[in-house]
Amino acid sequence: MVGQSPDESVSSGVSGTRPDEGSRSPTMVLTGASRGIGHAIAKRFTSAGWRVVTVSRSPFPASCVFAPGWADHIQADLSDAASLPSVITALRSRLDGHLDGLVNNAGISPKDESGHRLGVLSTPTQTWHEVLTVNLLAAAALVQGLFAELAAARGAVVNVTSIAGSRVHPFAGSAYACSKAALSALTREASSELGPHGIRVNAVSPGEIDTAILSSGTDRLVEYVCRWVAWARLTTLPTPRSSSARRRRPT
């Protein structure tokens, strides 16, 4: 976890109501929601009674059985920086002046034509711009644009970073790694600045999760680590569903 919390106690569970808001159902804005980790988060919080407003560049899957005809979805390409103000306007129009949670989950990790990572020397300038806009600038813009609603609800922001942001990864590209390292820094900055307004800002840094963003060969990497490090919990690559449902164990 990166960030800090205000002084008041905070429940660590997922619940459908907040004690200081009566019958109002809590609301979350979630980016990168159409698949992978984001889709699992949407399912988890919707089942717990939250209203989840989703944003992704793809339509919400028509085949999704848990939410057929998903209405609270905004299809937008967050790599287009010029479109971010209109995305924020559309989001604010769907809120009632309160936002309990903002999850900045959207992320891209482009590969070359062979599916291999793009390093510092091989990443085109335009790709750097696209990755940094989606993975970093969009998160900052949403925090800025939805600040009033977050403050009114004394809400929380969660930025989804990555282990690639703190070490060289064999599959994650340089632009992706740099964007995730910067997102961790943004989390610290926002935590310090928004904490006095009652807004908690933290980050989660997933390891290898079985989603479409993974490069081919990740399963072999996990097998190698298991063999030489003997870390039993890595024997099975986690899925978005198992990761979103995981609970912190009491100490």
Residue 217 lies in a domain: yes
Nearest to 128 by CA among 118, 142, 138: 118
Asked whether 159 and 186 are in contact (CB, 8 A), the reply is yes
Q: Does residue 204 lie within any of the structural domains? A: yes
Higher pLDDT, 200 or 39: 200
In this prediction the pTM is 0.75
Q: Over pLDDT 70: what percentage of the chain?
A: 65
User: What domain range includes position 199?
Assistant: 23-244
- CA angle, residues 101, 102, 106, in degrees to nearest 5: 145
Of 11-20, 61-70, 182-191, which gets the smallest average pLDDT?
A: 11-20
176 catalytic per annotation? yes
Could you tell me if residue 237 is inside a domain? yes
Which range scores top for mean pLDDT: 11-20, 209-218, 236-245? 236-245
Domain assignment present for residue 93? The answer is yes
Cβ partners under 8 Å of residue 46, min gap 6: 52, 66, 67
Catalytic: which of 53, 72, 176, 191?
176
Q: Does any domain span residue 13? A: no
- Cα R_g (the chain), whole angstroms: 18
Mean pLDDT along residues 170-174: 74
CA dihedral for 31, 68, 14, 26, sign (positive or negative): positive
- The CATH number linked to 123 is 3.40.50.720
Residue 117 is predicted with a pLDDT of: 81
Look at residue 16 and tell me if it is in a domain.
no
Total of domains in the chain: 1
pLDDT tens-place string over residues 19-50: 355 567 899 999 998 777 888 898 899 889 99
234 in a structural domain? yes
Give the residue from 36, 53, 25 showing the smallest Cα distance to 109: 36
Mean pLDDT value of segment 223-250: 52
Crossing angle for the helix pair 138-145 and 174-194, to the nearest 10 degrees: 20
Neighbours of 176 (CB within 10 A): 28
Tokens (6 digits) for 41: 């988060």
